[in-house]
Amino acid sequence: MEQQNFHMPLLGDDFPTLTLQTTQGVMNLPGDLKGRWFVLFSHPADFTPVCTTEFVGFQRLMPEFEKLGVKLIGMSVDQVFSHIKWIEWIKEKLGVEITFPIAAANDSIANALGMLHPGKGTNTVRAVFVVDPQSKVRLVIYYPQEIGRNMEEVLRAVKALQVADKNNVAVPANWPNNELIKDRVIISPAKTVTEAATRLKEYDGYDWWFCHKAL
């Protein structure tokens, strides 16, 4: 693969326009999901142990993602018939039915999303893209092939983004279980001397630049 063809979507970018063949039919992204959140995650290959554990993990959290109005979409460079056979195996052997679509990515699609890293072989890396209702890329995570993802963290990140957007706040580390302020959220820093002087009268905090509140 030529290096000049390699592109990684950046935070705030429009999600690239893609037509995907999936286990549930043709899907046009982001158009088909305009107005809602979605998580697109790639995996190196079907019928591999780590990827199988990830798919079971994402399926287990499907109800939680659905509560947030989030669509899950899996993807690898395997063909759709391979995806279908794999999810049949997962249902038969592990008793878990995969209900989210799995897309077949060709090299062009994989390159558009930065899923083929030249130093990591020909399989797609474990990429995660969180896209908002305006089709903007809001979070990108890349994992190497040898490390499985933490689905709880993906879910937490989506919740945090939605809370931040709705309330015009930031969320602390390990939210909602932060060591300092627990499930409270952080107020945007003051932008003027006047705001700084009154900030601690309006909110709880350690200083005018570190104030927080309950949701």
Binding residues are 126
Residue 157 within any structural domain of the chain:
no
Q: Are residues 92 and 188 in the same domain?
A: no
Q: Summarize pLDDT for 134-154 with one digit per residue, the tens.
A: 999 999 998 888 899 999 999
Residue 6's pLDDT is: 54
What is the CATH number for 25?
Answer: 3.40.30.10
Q: pLDDT band for position 114 (50/70/90)?
A: confident
Enumerate the β-bridge partners of residue 137. 131
Residue 1's pLDDT is: 36
Q: How many Å apart are CA 196 and CA 135, to the nearest integer?
A: 35
Q: Are residues 44 and 138 in the same domain?
A: yes
Please check whether residue 75 is in contact with residue 103, taking contact to mean a CB–CB distance below 8 angstroms: yes
| Active-site residue list | 51
The CA-based diameter of the chain, rounded to the nearest angstrom, is 65
Binding residues for substrate are 126
Instruction: Kindly state the average pLDDT of the residues 125-131.
Output: 90
**Residue 54 structural domain:** 3-149
Query: Over 80: is that where the pLDDT of 24 sits?
Result: yes
Residue 117's pLDDT is: 59
Q: How many Å apart are CA 5 and CA 96, to the nearest integer?
A: 37
Position 35, amino acid: G
Q: Are residues 96 and 193 in the same domain?
A: no
Residue 163 within any structural domain of the chain:
no
**Helices and strands: H and E segment counts in the chain:** 6, 10
Please check whether residue 104 is in contact with residue 78, taking contact to mean a CB–CB distance below 8 angstroms: yes
